[in-house]
Amino acid sequence: MRKENSTTAIKGFVFVGLTNNPAQQIFLFLAFLSFYIMTLVGNLGMIALIRVSPRLHTPMYFFLSNLSLLDVCFSSVVATKSLVNLLADKKSISLIGCAMQMYFVIGLGSTECFLLVAMAYDRYVAICKPLLYLVLMSPRVCTFLVVGSYVLGLLHSLVHTVFTFRLSFCHSNKINHLYCDITALLSLSCSDIYLNELLIFYVAGPVEATTILSVMVSYMYILTNIVRISSSAGRLKAFSTCTSHLIAVTIFHGAILILHFRPKSSNGSPTQDVCDKVLAVFYTIVIPLLNPLIYSLRNKEVKDALEVIQRKVWGKMFS
């Protein structure tokens, strides 16, 4: 029997999805579409608000606008294809399409990890070195941090994508997931995936650990400086500028750790497969929706800027 040595044995993949029940698929389509529309409105609205509000033209909101753009792209990579598949008889994706989807899911997710570190560094400088803030967080430095986040994230993804799609996929073409997830693809390969597992352990693992540790170190210094503030009002004001970012980091990294870095013994059961898919929905569709809500509901400056815009709009309408 001839042994296949490349991915040419399979021209595409088929997603198993959450359910084959037509009524449930319609319900999921409407739910996913609602989440996706709210994600677009929330994040694009946040970008527009930051651009038109002079009071929000600061490094903190420069990073936040890039986070919103990242969330729009990240959600679109998964949501658009998932919405099409929910209404399609055959939930398929081409080999190239799968490679591109995996590349952008890992790349944009990794970029968000690095961008959250840059945002933590911004809060560290603002609270621990306020007199040097405008120097240390100049437009040039902020641009460098954002561009660096994208470069590191996309390079990290390129490594995993190249080494995944050089494998042979001859066991099956059915991906038991909602999108082209690397672990789901590795389970379909009939090649030796030892090198891929090493890359996950020695490349993806350190990226996740390093970004989490960097945020934790930043907040250790932040908390140390906040404790030294004499007035309780001053401490509360200083900490309030960090809570939104801290919540976003906790939710994002918590989902990654549960989805990708749990013990292998928890894999394989039908219940675990469903939980994985639900977590994937939360990670790729719900979290991008939560970020603008977290930063708008808990941020006085964003609320004030939104009120100013609303007053201007109402003023023009009734003038």
**Residues 118-171: tens digit of each pLDDT:** 999 999 999 999 999 999 999 999 999 999 999 999 999 999 999 999 998 876
Angle, CA of 312, 318 and 319, to the nearest 5°: 80
In terms of Cα–Cα distance, which of 218, 247, 241, 244 is closest to 128? 218
205's CB contacts (< 8 A; 6+ apart) are 261
pLDDT of residue 263: 66
Residue 139 tokens, joined: 């437009």
Contact 32, 83 (CB under 8 A): yes
Strands 12-15 and 174-175: parallel
Q: How far is 215 from 249, CA to CA, in rounded Å?
A: 8
- Contact status, residue 148 vs residue 241, Cβ threshold 8 Å: no
The string of pLDDT tens digits covering residues 53-111 is 988 999 999 999 999 999 999 999 999 999 999 988 888 999 999 999 999 999 999 99
Q: What is the C-alpha to C-alpha distance for residues 319 and 312, in angstroms, rounded to an integer? A: 10
Domains, the chain: 11-318 (1.20.1070.10)
